Homo-oligomer: A and B are copies of this chain.
Amino acid sequence: MSDLLERLRGRGWRMTAQRRVVAEVLDGDHVHLTADEVHARAVSRLPEISRATVYNTLGEMVSLGEVLEVSTDRRAKRYDPNAHRPHHHLVCARCGAIRDVHPAGNPLADLPTDERYGFMVSGVEVTYRGICPNCAATA
């Protein structure tokens, strides 16, 4: 079942049909869906759910730290239910396919103090870009 749903319930979230559906959609596929893709899938289970609700719900799950927002391109944000395992992303420049990756090394440690300009550095995102096997074959 939905671990995500359990975690959210455990935080005193008011449970509604809409929120349940959004959580189930996200947790169902471990792909990186856009908000509108989530909406489309949610609609097929709960036809009257609105776009605004999907956006709100995703935003709340992100605030709670249960879902990650991923922006690998300038199009839509994508939502990653895999928030509790730190990881980075590998993106196909042609088709946009995304894979979670776990590089060795610690990029945070690689930023020397004199390159921090007094910032309190709290996080780092790494996005690898390339061509996926599929697209390479169809080149």
Contacts and interface: CB of A to CB of B under 8 A. Distances in A.
Interface of A: 71, 73-74, 77, 90, 92-93, 99, 101-105, 107-108, 110-112, 115-133, 136
A124 B110 CA distance: 15
A27 to B, nearest CB: 23
Contacts of A93: 122
Contacts of A136: 118, 120
Contacts of A110: 103-105
A115 B101 contact: yes
A52 to B, nearest CB: 18
A99 B128 CA distance: 20
A39 to B, nearest CB: 17
